[in-house]
């Protein structure tokens, strides 16, 4: 889900130039982290009113609660007031959400077809159905030592806590060869009893007689 956030910052009276510079630097680092995770999509600087320090940000988050956590993690939030506007796609939008200039026109539907099945099975805590999204000989690297094949993949997801859900965003796609589709994703795993886990995920899909399946899956923790 996308949100437009109007961010107005007021620097407290008496704040030194050094403190302002430090705050700006820490904010820039956090903004890059959120962008790398796919949460911060765009930033704009509208014409400011006299004495105003203002930005508009386009954010991507699973819901309003998760967005608030992201905004609260930004250093400038200590001096800032945020006005959030939820956005929904317009039927005449000329740039469909997630369309990537580096991917082909059919990449995203093919990738989403598999990922939506994977997400539905993860959210429902159905490990055998998750494993069915993979090829028989798939290489799987989650947050534990790697495994090969569907039985190991099913065992991995069987060990995950009930209530875990996955929310993904497609960042990049490539077709390295006919019958292969590479996807680079940002994924948020949410839980009922612990903070959200944000990762980046690389998947290599292989086209089989039964359709597209995941042949390689590798998670990378965000820095």
The predicted-structure confidence for 147-164, as pLDDT tens digits, reads as follows 999 999 999 999 999 999
Lowest mean pLDDT among 46-50, 64-68, 100-104: 100-104
Q: How far apart are CA 61 and CA 132, in angstroms?
A: 28
Question: Does pTM top 0.85 for this prediction?
Answer: no
pLDDT band for 100, please (50, 70, 90 cuts): very low
pLDDT of residue 95: 55
Instruction: Report the b/e string of 42-63 with b at 16+ CB within 10 A.
Output: eeeeeeeeeeebbbebebbbbe
* Average pLDDT over every residue of 59-74: 91
Q: How far apart are CA 186 and CA 167, in angstroms?
A: 8
59 has pLDDT over 50: yes
Go through the domains of the chain in sequence order and give each one's CATH number: 2-87 (3.30.70.1060), 107-221 (3.10.450.50)
* Average pLDDT over every residue of 35-43: 83
What percentage of the chain has pLDDT greater than the value 90?
64
31 has pLDDT over 60: yes
Asked if 31 contacts 159 with a C-beta cutoff of 8 angstroms, the reply is no
């Amino acid at each position: 889900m996308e949100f437009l956030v109007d961010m107005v910052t007021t620097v407290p009276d008496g704040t030194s130039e050094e403190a302002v510079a430090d705050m700006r630097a820490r904010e820039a680092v956090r903004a890059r982290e959120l962008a790398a995770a796919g949460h911060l999509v765009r930033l704009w600087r509208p014409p400011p009113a006299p004495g105003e320090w203002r930005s508009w940000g386009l954010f991507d988050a699973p819901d309003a609660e998760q967005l608030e956590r992201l905004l609260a993690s930004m250093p400038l939030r200590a001096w800032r007031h945020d006005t959030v506007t939820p956005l929904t796609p317009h039927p005449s939008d000329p740039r469909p959400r997630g369309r990537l200039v580096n991917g082909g026109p059919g990449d995203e539907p093919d990738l989403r077809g598999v990922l939506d099945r994977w997400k539905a099975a993860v959210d429902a805590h159905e490990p055998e159905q998750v494993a069915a999204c993979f090829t028989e000989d798939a290489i799987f690297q989650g947050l534990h030592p790697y495994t090969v094949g569907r039985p190991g993949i099913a065992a991995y997801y069987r060990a995950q806590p009930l209530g875990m859900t996955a929310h993904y965003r497609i960042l990049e796609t490539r077709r390295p060869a006919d019958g292969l589709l590479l996807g680079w994703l940002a994924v948020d795993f949410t839980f009922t009893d612990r903070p959200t886990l944000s990762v980046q995920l690389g998947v290599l899909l292989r086209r089989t007689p039964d359709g597209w399946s995941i042949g390689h899956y590798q998670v990378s923790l965000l820095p």
